[in-house]
Amino acid sequence: MISTTETSRKVLIVDPDATTRREVRAACVQDGYQVLEAENGAEALREVGSAHPSLVLLEVALPDGSGFDVCRELRKVDAAVPVIIP
């Protein structure tokens, strides 16, 4: 069920693959989320610092390094935001 609270939730999708981002975005939008996208780790960290997403979907294989490293750095910016990685 989509509530008004749900619609204010921002999800950051971090994935270099445009097709994956598009598919995940479509499902998120369908469920009422706002969606932010990042193609690499640097973009992801910028988005977390500036847009303060409610949740981050983080691919491990990124063009500018490992998603693991990004997760560590991300924790310095926001210690509490839920992060889901494969």
Q: Exactly one of 7, 46, 51, 85 binds another protein (CB under 8 A); which one? A: 85
| Residue closest to 15 by CA, chosen among 45, 69, 73, 60 | 60
Q: State yes or no: residue 4 binds another protein (CB under 8 A).
A: no
Residue 18 binding another protein, by CB under 8 A? no
The footprint of another protein (CB under 8 A) covers 5-6, 9, 11, 13-15, 20, 23-24, 27-28, 31, 33, 54-55, 57-61, 67-68, 71-72, 74-75, 79-86
